[in-house]
Amino acid sequence: MRNAIKISALALSLVAAAANAQSVRIEKNMSLELANQIATASVAACAANGYAVAATVVDRAGTVRAVQRADNAGPHTLAASQQKAFTSASAKNTTLAMMEGAQKNPAAANLVNIPGYLLLGGGVPVKVGNEVIGAVGIGGAPGGHLDEQCAMAALDKVKDQLK
């Protein structure tokens, strides 16, 4: 009888330990150094094409980690870049793809009513494998598709750090 009680207690403690282990998550996060590198590379990629932009990098929760605004970038570019980054991190998708989806699907068009969302091209998730660890948003090029190209070029520069 005592052995049965000991075995039952041991089994229950193992089940409880397994349940606790599953409730704690380990996540990859973006360092400040990486966020600054992405922001700098984004502004530089757009500047190489003659575009004065702002770039905002957010973490997986949509919290700002780094911001850069090029000389001569309009004041509106700061808010646009932040909202694009937030939208991309939140939805784990590019804002260009979301915009195109909203144009084709009336139900998705309601995404514009989410506070802080901006469905214009230029927001791109930052991924390690398939895990989104943040996003970069760019505002100021003469078209969201050009903002996105700059973001993709910046992420290409840091791709070795995203493994």
User: How high does pLDDT run on average in the chain?
Assistant: 91
Which of 10-19, 37-46, 138-147 has the lowest average pLDDT? Answer: 10-19
pLDDT confidence tier of residue 22, bands split at 50, 70 and 90: confident
Place of tokens 């937030």: 86
CA distance 13 to 30: 36
pLDDT confidence tier of residue 5, bands split at 50, 70 and 90: low
pLDDT confidence tier of residue 21, bands split at 50, 70 and 90: low
Which amino acid makes up residue 8?
S
CA distance 108 to 2: 62
Predicted local distance difference test score (pLDDT) of residue 8: 55
Lateral strand order in the sheet of 123-128: 64-69, 54-59, 131-139, 123-128
More confident residue, 25 or 32: 32
**Stretch 120-128: mean pLDDT, rounded?**
98
pLDDT confidence tier of residue 54, bands split at 50, 70 and 90: very high
CA distance 67 to 89: 15
Q: What is the DSSP string of 47-79?
A: HHTT---EEEEEETTS-EEEEEE-TT--THHHH
pTM of the model: 0.86
Q: Which CATH architecture has domain 32-161?
A: 2-Layer Sandwich (3.30)
Place of tokens 């903002």: 147
**Stretch 26-30: mean pLDDT, rounded?**
93
Predicted local distance difference test score (pLDDT) of residue 14: 54
**Stretch 114-130: mean pLDDT, rounded?**
96
